[in-house]
Amino acid sequence: MHLTKKSKVAIIIGLLPALVLYILFAILPIIQSFYYSLMEWNGISDMTFVGIDNFKRLFQEPLFWSSVKNNVYVVTASVLGQIPIALFIALLLNRKLKGVRIFRTIGFLPVVLSTVVISLTWSLIYNSKNGMLNELLRTVGLDGLTQNWLGDTKWTMFAVLVTIIWQFIGLYLIIFLAALQNIPEEVLEAAKMDGASEWVTTFKITIPMIWSTIIVAVILCISGSLKTFDLIYVMTNGGPAHSTEVMALYMFNETFSKLNYGYGSAVSVFIFFFSLILIFIVTKVFKGKMI
């Protein structure tokens, strides 16, 4: 549309409220966390400029590195657990079967529920005394396999990862289903006419045709996994003995429990760049589209 003076004013009026709120409450905080990361500060007293001291301390802190390692576990488990299972189920659901809708509805349900509710439900399932999992093992006579799932450093990470995988399979399932339904029917018909078996069609035609969607799903999955916080905060609060602590949780505890605002901000800055770099690498390697 051509611009008159009046429309210029209108544009400013129209964009300003959204821009102001967005800059003030999303952009400003992320910039400020850079600034705070160079300070030593407990949130109340005066700030002292310490340069990159916070980062030096960060890189020498074994607990921080163990939280990075746990984050890598979450990313790996999510990508290897959620994506293949979701793709497999989506391929099964993408047929002319009766009741597909019901399976789809149930499949997506966990994605809609709040992480807090999911964490609490699974905490009850993992409960060592009366939890469903141990009760189930006892019922089928596998008493020896019962564990203190959330209290034993050997098992806690495993238990948490199972819940994380469970929570988001549905999201990728729906994404893959949408992509599969966009494949023109003629393409698959033609393959069938040429005598291609279902396996061949799936691996040589269907999957390559939705490859870009798979890459987007992987990127979403990685960036989502790096944000893991609520679930672990509620289920284990990083314990026992820091065995499930992830970066966001380490940052949270340093800042709000130990009141190391500067140091906590340094962790924030690290998380920010870590996500950005990882997403960048994945996009480059798979030649996917960023965003």
Partner 1 sequence: METVVKSKKDTRTKDLTSKKKSIKNTIIYTILGIFSLVNAYPIVWMVINSFKSESEFVVNQFGFPKVFVLENYINAWDIANLGVLFKNSIFICITATGITVLLGALASYFLSRFTFKMNKFIYSFFIFGLLIPIHATLVPMFILMRNLGLLDTPITLIFPYIAFHLPITIFILTSFMKAFPKDIEESAIMDGCGIFRVFWSIILPMSRPALATVVILNFIYNWNEFSFALVLINDPELQTLPLGLANFAGQFTTNYGAQMAGLTMSLVPIVIFYLLLEKEIVKGMTAGAVKG
Per CB under 8 A, contacts with partner 1 among 218-247 are 220, 223, 226-227, 229-230, 233-234
Tell which positions 26-65 bind partner 1, by CB under 8 A: 26-30, 32-33, 36, 43
Which window, 52-60, 70-78, 177-185, 186-194, contacts partner 1 (CB under 8 A)? Answer: 177-185
48: which strand partners?
40
DSSP state of 226: H
* Contact pick of 70, 71, 82, 115 for partner 1 (by CB under 8 A): 115
Give the DSSP letter of residue 45: S
Residue 3 is a binding residue for partner 1 (CB under 8 A):
yes
Question: Degrees (nearest 5) of the Cα angle 244, 247, 250?
Answer: 75
> Least CB distance from residue 43 to partner 1, whole Å?
7
Shortest distance (Å) from residue 214 CB to partner 1:
11
Indicate the DSSP class of residue 113. Answer: S
Q: Which of residues 191-210 bind partner 1 (CB under 8 A)?
A: none
Number of chain residues interacting with partner 1 (CB under 8 A): 95
3-state SS assignment for residue 149? coil
Cα–Cα nearest to 147, from 134, 131, 161: 134
Closest CA to 254 of 41, 73, 45: 41
Q: Is residue 108 within the footprint of partner 1 (CB under 8 A)?
A: yes
Site for partner 1 in 147-166 (CB under 8 A): 166
Rounded-to-integer distance, Cα 181 and Cα 230, Å: 33
Q: Which stretch, 58-66, 74-82, 146-154, 262-270, contacts partner 1 (CB under 8 A)?
A: 262-270
Residue choice 45, 46, 60, 114 for contact with partner 1 (CB under 8 A): 114
> What is the rounded distance in angstroms from the CA atom of residue 157 to the CA atom of residue 203?
34
